[in-house]
Each structure stands twice: as C-alpha cells, then as structure tokens.
Chains A and B, each alone.
Chain A
Amino acid sequence: MTLRDVDVHNRENLGKPDFIAQDEDPGSITETISGVIFGKTYLWWITAMGLSFGLLSIGMVGFVWLLAKGVGVWGIQVPNAWGFAIVNFVWWIGIGHAGTLISAILLLMRQEWRTSINRFAEAMTLFAVACAGLFPVFHTGRPWLAYWMLPLPNTMRVWPQFRSPLIWDVFAVSTYATISLVFWYVGLVPDLAALRDRAKTLLSRRIYGIAALGWRGAADHWHNYEKAYLLLAGLSTPLVLSVHSVISFDFAVSQLPGWHATIFPPYFVAGAVYAGFAMVLTLMIPLRAIFNLHAYITERHLENMGKVMLVTGLIVGWGYATELFMAWYSGNIFERFMMYNRIFGPYWMAYWGLILCNILVPQIMWSKRCRTNAFWLFFASQFVNVGMWLERYVIVITSLTRDFLVGSWGTYHGTIWDWAVYLGTFGLFLSLIFLFIRILPALSMTELKMISPEGKKTGH
C-alpha cells in the first residue's frame, strides 16, 4: 500500500464530488499555497498576531507571579490540589488528538478528505501539546526541577516510580510530542523544498533550503519517504489512543469516587477527538474564508468533520450515561453521592453547562443543512470547546472537593492567576498558529498534487 492508494481509493467507487476543484493542477496548487507565504503581510495578520501576543503576555505575567509567589497564587488547596492546571492540561492534550487522528488514522482508513486539512491539524496538535505541557511543569511549583520526572542518574540514586500513572504520563506525553513533531516535519520536507525553489530573497531561500535538507524529489527517496510516512502513521495511531488512555489512568487508577471507573480510557479518547475536531473547525472555518481556500477545503470536508463530531459526541454522551448508571448500580453510597453532588451540588452549573454544550447543542449536527453550513458548524464547535473544558472541570473538582470524609471537604475556585495563565496559553497557541500560517504551507502541496487530476493519472 502506498500513500497514493490511500488517497485515490474512494474517488473511484463513490462517485461523489471531489475533495479538490477539478481545474487545479500541480502548478496552480504550488502558486496558490506558496503565494500565501510569499505574498504581502496583511494588516489583519499583524492585528491578529498582536492580539495573540497580548494574550500570551498576560500568561507570562501570570507565570512570573506564580514563580515569584509559589503555586498558592492558584486556587489550589488541599483537598483540591489539582485545579485548573490539570483541567487545562487534559483539555489541551485532547485538542491535539484530533490532529493525529486526521493525519494518521484517517490516512490508514483511506479517507481522502484528510489531505487538505492534515497539515494544519498536525500543527494544531504540536501547539496544543506545547500549551498542555506548560501546566504540569508549572504545577510542580519548581519548573526548573521538572527534569526530576525523567529517569536520570542522580546523587540520591532513586529512580522514578514506573508503576505510577503519573510517570506513564511523562512517557506518553513526551513520546507523543516527539513523534508528532517528526511526523509533521517529514510531511513538510518536500513542501519546504518547493518553497526553497520559489523563494524570492536569498535569505528565505537559504532558510527554507536548510530546512528542506536538500530534498530533490528523487524516485527512490519518494519510495523511502512514503514507507516512512505510512509507518509513522501506523505508529501514531496506537500512540494517540495510548496517550489519552494513560491520562485517564491518572484518574482511574486512584480510589476516588467519580475517577475510579473502567469507562475512563475510551471515554477520554472519544472526548479528546470530540474537542479536537471542534478546535479544527474553530480554526479552519475562518482560515478558509480569509485565504479563500474553498477549492481545497470544500463543503464535504466540513460535513465530514461535523459527522465525526456528532459520533464522538454521542460516545461522550454514552460515557456520561454509563457514569450515571454505574453510580446507581454499584449501590455504593459514595459513588451515588458523587453523582448527586455533580448534578445538584455546589458545581451544578458546570455540570448542566457541560450537558448543554456537549450533549444538547451538538445534536444540530444531525441536520445536513447545519453540517454543511460554516456558521452552524462554528456555532456548535464553540459549545463543544467550552463543554469539554467544563467536563474536565467537573471531573477534577467535584470529586476532589467532596470525597469520602465530610470533615475533609473543601471548595475550589480558580483565581485571577489561574485565568491569566489559561488565557496565556490561548495566546501562545494562537501566536504559534498565526506564525505557522505565515511562514509554512498550511495545506500540504505535495498531497494536494497527488489528488489533483494530473496526479491521479499515475495513481495505479
């Protein structure tokens, strides 16, 4: 099997409209997409970048204050030592998972429509993982000692506890970040070579040239490249499933009511994909409008993403229902109280908010008119973005603040510094996204050429 088999498989027997306008050829694809990079810098880009950097600055202030005063400036306090840091970590990692799903799993499942959106989604994965990684590192309170989480020889002669899900987490997230980065870079190299050959100034030719590693598109190189790319996709697929499963073990391996549940791994993975597709749509819909990319990101792409959101949203809904059922069926008073507390306790607004955002509003995706309409997709995506954050908030906070012993109950609220660093990661994420679309091809030229009519000629 080669990449091409994967890409052309559907078009022959489905008879559906194509995922690329039929008057596009390799030349026009190169011109359009490199034109975005070598064209002039628009005022909207400078404005957007400035606003994003402003948000990032708020986060930097938040982190500096945290370093100066300690983690006490966050709202965390025993019994609730996790708070926003873990909520945001899980939320950001989950967003990243859609990128891997699109680039790897849909490739293996021969879904041609992934081609236009995979590069962007992979970039989104990397940036989301970068944002996620900040939280546990700063949550330690001494980020300069974060390397203690790694199994390094040291004067105390101790090693990390490899039986702990928290160490599994370190391995899973660092592997995920590394493999996502190399997968993205391998995909970029032929496009970087195209940019090197189109560059207008010596400096940009040099920079893209160095990054392209001297790629010259030789047939034997392409052969090894395709093999490597498919193997990376095959490796990323179990990896992405393992990452959110391991993250769910952070909760599920504990004894706490509301966390100690076998439904957690699949329910977390589905939630991650759900949130991730919502974020892809959130970013893709404006990008498509601004750069006029309707020839490459068609209504069918939007519709398919809407379908994935609908299905993963229903799996998440099934997860909620299972939690409810198991709390009752277990006959355990602590489990039953946990569920009652979620629904009617002090955090009832967050619970009902997540039901509204994750379960009710996305049902509009049943309607084909909504699935193919950019506005309604964007509308539903915003609810899912908020809803998935609320879901993690409810899981973390309600279980920690009210566990078995009434005497150890507490309350939790994020402080202004919690919000500052959360907003700051939005700034980091958006700044990286805007830099990315300015200096790198946001759509894969190589893969678009393969699904263009000219590229299809040598398909089999």
Chain B
Amino acid sequence: MSNHAHIDEHRDDEGAKTGMWIFIFTELILFGGLFIVYSVYRYLNPAAFHLAAEELDTFIGTVNTVILLTSSMTIAMSVSAIQYQNKKLTLILMGVTILLAVVFMVNKYFEWSGKIAHGIYPGSPTLMEASQGEILFFGLYYAMTGLHAIHIIIGVAFIAYVMRLVVKDEVQHDNFTILENSGLYWHLVDLIWIFLFPLFYLIT
C-alpha cells in the first residue's frame, strides 16, 4: 500500500463521474438523432424497410447482442472486484470484456463483408437499382452500426488504458473512478446496441 502523504492530492470523484455522465448524454443525443431519422424514414417507407431488413442475419445479430450484454456484465463486475481489492480478478474481467469486444468486431467484419460481397454497400450499383426506402435502410444501417463500431474501438482503447493503470496500481480499491467511467462508456455502447438490434434485425 502506498502510505506516503496524499495531502496535496487533488481529486474530485463526484465531478469526474458527473463529467462522464454529461459526455454520455451528448452521445445519447447523437445516436438519438439518428434513431429519429430512422423512425421517420421507416414510417414513410414501411414496406421497403421490411424487405431490406430480411437481408440482415438475425442469428449474427443475436450472437452479437449476447456478446455485448455479457461484456457489459464483466466490466461491471470488474468495478466490484477492484472494490474487493482483487486486482487479478479485476484484470481478468477487463481482459474478458476486451476479448468479447474483439469477437463482436470480428462478427461485424464478416457481416459487413458478406453484405458488400452481395453488392450491398452505399452507392453500389445493386443498391442504386433498389427502391428509395431500401437505399435509406442500408445507408442508415451502415452509418449507425458503423458509428457504433467506432465506439466499440474507442471503448476497447479506454478499457485497455485503464487496465494499464490497474497493473501499475494507479487504480485501486479507494481510487477507481476512471475504471467506473470506462465501465459507464462501455454500458453506453451496450445501451445503443440494445436499440439497434431490434430496429435493424428484428423487423417483420
């Protein structure tokens, strides 16, 4: 334990967490705007959205949902683990979270490359022959799952950085706000996927 004087230590856990939440609100509004665009276009083109959604693989979508929900649990558990002063378990749980995120991205890669191989990508000749609604659906599909995937990559980098801090004992049982904040970010990624999944993969 570091017993040297912490007298001049400047820390504001409450403030750091509040700041993270405010950042998360801006993210929610960013994706919220896209969800509104989606719902208006779906309202205007119900048949085309239905037709286009049939192209998406519900199985891959479900697998990725299970993966993200599980990774959300492991990062939440890591916050408990650090409070129990179990450094090893904290690192294992964070590592599992990153591993699951990588698996998610690999699935996403196969899903996207499958679509692209079928000639479905923004501006492709196949898509240009399709109806306006289908073009809109796939435009939104690539934009929204793509933006979500970027968030996954940022989340992985954030968690990896905090893992380094845990290894160096800079994050400990009495000082783990940054771990909590990386967890909050990861749950946001999960939260967005919870809505992306039914809206893109589960249209009947």
Interaction A to B: no
Chain B residues at the A interface, C-beta cutoff of 8 Å: none
